[in-house]
């Protein structure tokens, strides 16, 4: 960030998109920044050299969202009514074109291998959200759930399962809220939870009960204009919404009620929970069965209380802030503004802590790198190269100055290679450990900032 009162300047400007940038996401432990534009192109930028590693046209229209599925798959959502899962490994990446959309190219750029494709609704300009299909270990890499606006009713939300591509739920939380503008699907404890922002400014949280019914747990209308974006805290203790108006709202996430918790076995008596088709008693005759079905009272599940009070609302006096993103440490969040400013706020107080100005036209996309995303094996690579950030050459000179034996000819030959490895590792570490904030603009450029 800037010092001595000087305005902050971006660390890098990534030029290459011909159309406005609508989506951005950091993947592979911050090694890659993926950006998508209004022409449907995706660019994978290598942050160690600030150059493109892969370029292809993923959709025939504007890209609404990009996200990683594990380390080897990529999800893109376009306004061509398609949601596509691509195979995106290092080997796949090496076979793709590096010619940017701005570069004149007569050849057709190859695409990665397409794994799945869903026909979805994109009339709402609402990007998808995804989460693991279950809370068990390894679920994130094998099965996921995808939430998108319903194909026929723009106020409803469809939830699909991948890889089966089956629609598991259609959630309609009201008739008077208008179109769905932003969604977030996640697990809160054991309960599948859905947060949604609507055209009339309403924010709603619903949870899936054990009887298969979605129950509204929170509802508040903090905005006078359509909700443009929302994001959920990494700790699952709140979520934030921004709108076409100047308000940013902080909302609670109600804890799952008893009605949304799965049935638990009676551990004292070692009795498993009853299944829906399991009869409690065996009728002795058809008459007994009929009387039993007609007279047995059914106790409805208690309806949990709906919270209606947000945690905090702030009028920022800057309308049109979208692509709200909370950083992985939950300390900061950022918005991309129609006034060409990228604003950084405290996630605790909602106070503005920085205004980043470089673009001359409106910003549409923002993305935070994952803080502390360096994989454990990187430490092993650095140690093998001579130990620490100082580099192997400096350490070797120190050892020779202390009177240790002179290096053999084989060791002398390996010194330049050691230097190369150390420089590369320093670049990789800088890319992975930088507190990056990327902003995509209407001008087709992406600014990369290193924030506190």
At 370-399, the pLDDT tens digits run 987 655 444 333 333 333 333 333 333 333
Predicted TM-score (pTM) of this structure: 0.79
At 330-351, the pLDDT tens digits run 999 999 999 999 999 999 999 9
In angstroms, the CA 128 to CA 293 distance is: 44
Per-residue pLDDT for 199 more than 50?
yes
My answer on whether 388 and 249 are in the same domain is: no
Instruction: Look at residue 280 and tell me if it is in a domain.
Output: no
Helix (H, G, I), strand (E, B) or coil at 92: helix
In angstroms, the CA 10 to CA 359 distance is: 10
Tokens, residue 330: 């939950």
Using pLDDT thresholds of 50, 70 and 90, give the confidence band for residue 412: very low
The torsion of the CA quartet 221, 226, 229, 232, rounded to 10 degrees, works out to 10
Give percent above pLDDT 70 in the chain.
77
My answer on whether 34 and 83 are in the same domain is: yes
Instruction: Name the average pLDDT for the chain.
Output: 82
Using pLDDT thresholds of 50, 70 and 90, give the confidence band for residue 260: low
Instruction: Look at residue 338 and tell me if it is in a domain.
Output: yes
State the pLDDT at residue 405: 40
State the pLDDT at residue 121: 82
Cβ neighbours for 147, distance < 8 A, ≥ 6 positions apart: 128, 129, 130, 157, 158, 159, 183, 184, 185, 194
State the pLDDT at residue 355: 96
At 316-333, the pLDDT tens digits run 999 999 999 999 999 999
In angstroms, the CA 157 to CA 426 distance is: 45
Tokens, residue 133: 């299909």
At 204-237, the pLDDT tens digits run 999 998 888 999 999 999 999 999 999 999 999 9
In angstroms, the CA 291 to CA 305 distance is: 35
Residue, of 447 and 212, whose pLDDT is higher: 447
Instruction: Look at residue 197 and tell me if it is in a domain.
Output: yes
Characterize the bridge pairing of strands 82-87 and 114-119: antiparallel
My answer on whether 128 and 168 are in the same domain is: yes
My answer on whether 386 and 367 are in the same domain is: no
User: Domain range holding 392?
Assistant: 377-427
Per-residue pLDDT for 278 more than 60?
no
DSSP result, 387-433: SSTT-HHHHHHHHHHTTPPPPPHHHHHHHHHHHHHHHHHHHHHHHHH
My answer on whether 65 and 96 are in the same domain is: yes
- What Cα–Cα distance (Å) separates residue 257 from each residue in 210, 217, 276? 11, 9, 20
My answer on whether 314 and 339 are in the same domain is: yes
Per-residue pLDDT for 57 more than 90?
yes
Instruction: Look at residue 62 and tell me if it is in a domain.
Output: yes
My answer on whether 29 and 132 are in the same domain is: yes
My answer on whether 255 and 382 are in the same domain is: no
Per-residue pLDDT for 132 more than 50?
yes
My answer on whether 337 and 400 are in the same domain is: no
My answer on whether 359 and 389 are in the same domain is: no
State the pLDDT at residue 415: 46
DSSP collapsed to 3 states, 329-381: CCCEEEEEECCCEEEEEECCCCCEEEEEECCCCCEEEEEECCCCCCCCHHHHH
Range with the lowest mean pLDDT among 20-34, 95-109, 274-288, 438-452? 274-288
Using pLDDT thresholds of 50, 70 and 90, give the confidence band for residue 403: very low
Q: Which of 75, 187, 209 is nearest to 132 (CA)?
A: 187
Per-residue pLDDT for 194 more than 80?
yes
- What Cα–Cα distance (Å) separates residue 133 from each residue in 139, 140, 192, 202? 6, 7, 9, 27
State the pLDDT at residue 430: 79
CATH number of the domain enclosing 181: 2.130.10.10
Report the chain's C-alpha Rg in angstroms. 26
My answer on whether 255 and 160 are in the same domain is: yes
Instruction: Look at residue 6 and tell me if it is in a domain.
Output: no
Instruction: Look at residue 256 and tell me if it is in a domain.
Output: yes
Overall residue count recorded for the chain in this entry = 452
Task: Domain count for the chain, please give it.
Answer: 2
Tokens, residue 189: 């404890």
State the pLDDT at residue 421: 62
State the pLDDT at residue 230: 97
My answer on whether 306 and 423 are in the same domain is: no
In angstroms, the CA 441 to CA 12 distance is: 14
Per-residue pLDDT for 17 more than 70?
yes
Cβ neighbours for 442, distance < 8 A, ≥ 6 positions apart: 20, 21, 359, 361, 362, 363, 364
């Amino acid at each position: 960030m800037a010092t001595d009162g000087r305005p902050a300047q971006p660390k890098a400007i990534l030029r290459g998109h011909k159309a406005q940038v609508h989506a951005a996401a950091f993947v592979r432990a911050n090694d890659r920044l993926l950006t998508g534009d209004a022409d449907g192109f995706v660019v994978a930028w290598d942050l160690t050299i600030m150059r493109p590693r892969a370029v292809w046209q993923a959709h025939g229209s504007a890209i609404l969202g990009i996200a990683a599925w594990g380390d080897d798959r990529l999800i893109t959502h376009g306004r061509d009514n398609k949601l596509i899962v691509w195979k995106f490994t290092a080997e796949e990446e090496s076979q793709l074109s590096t010619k940017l959309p701005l570069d004149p190219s007569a050849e057709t750029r190859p695409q990665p291998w397409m794994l799945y494709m869903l026909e979805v609704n994109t009339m709402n300009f609402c990007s998808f959200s995804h989460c693991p299909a279950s809370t068990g270990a390894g679920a994130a890499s094998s099965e996921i759930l995808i939430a998108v606006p319903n194909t026929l009713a723009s106020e409803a939300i469809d939830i699909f399962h991948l890889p089966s591509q089956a629609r598991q739920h259609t959630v309609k939380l009201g008739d008077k809220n208008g179109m769905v503008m932003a969604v977030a699907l996640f697990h809160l404890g054991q309960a599948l939870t859905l947060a949604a922002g609507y055209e009339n400014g309403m924010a709603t949280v619903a949870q899936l009960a054990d009887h298969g019914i979605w129950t509204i747990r929170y509802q508040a209308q903090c905005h006078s204009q359509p909700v443009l974006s929302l994001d959920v805290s990494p700790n699952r203790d709140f979520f934030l919404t921004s709108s076409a108006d100047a308000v940013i709202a902080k909302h609670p996430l109600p804890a799952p009620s008893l009605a949304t918790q799965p049935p638990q076995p009676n551990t004292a008596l070692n009795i498993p929970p009853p299944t829906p088709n399991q009869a409690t008693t065996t009728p002795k005759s058809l008459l007994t069965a009929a009387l039993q079905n007609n007279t047995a009272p059914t106790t409805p599940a208690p309806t949990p209380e709906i919270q209606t009070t947000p945690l905090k609302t702030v009028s920022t006096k800057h309308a049109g802030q979208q692509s709200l993103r909370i950083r992985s440490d939950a300390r900061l969040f950022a918005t991309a503004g129609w006034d060409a400013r990228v604003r950084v706020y405290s996630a605790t107080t909602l106070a503005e802590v920085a205004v980043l100005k470089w673009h001359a036209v409106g910003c549409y996309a923002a993305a935070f790198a994952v803080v502390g995303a360096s994989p454990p094996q990187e430490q092993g690579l650095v140690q093998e190269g001579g130990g620490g950030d100082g580099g192997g050459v400096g350490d070797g000179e120190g050892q020779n100055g202390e009177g240790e034996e002179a290096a053999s000819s084989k060791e002398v030959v390996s010194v330049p290679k050691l230097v190369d490895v150390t420089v590369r590792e320093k670049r990789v570490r800088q890319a992975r450990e930088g507190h990056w904030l990327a902003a995509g603009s209407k001008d087709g450029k992406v600014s990369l900032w290193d924030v506190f």
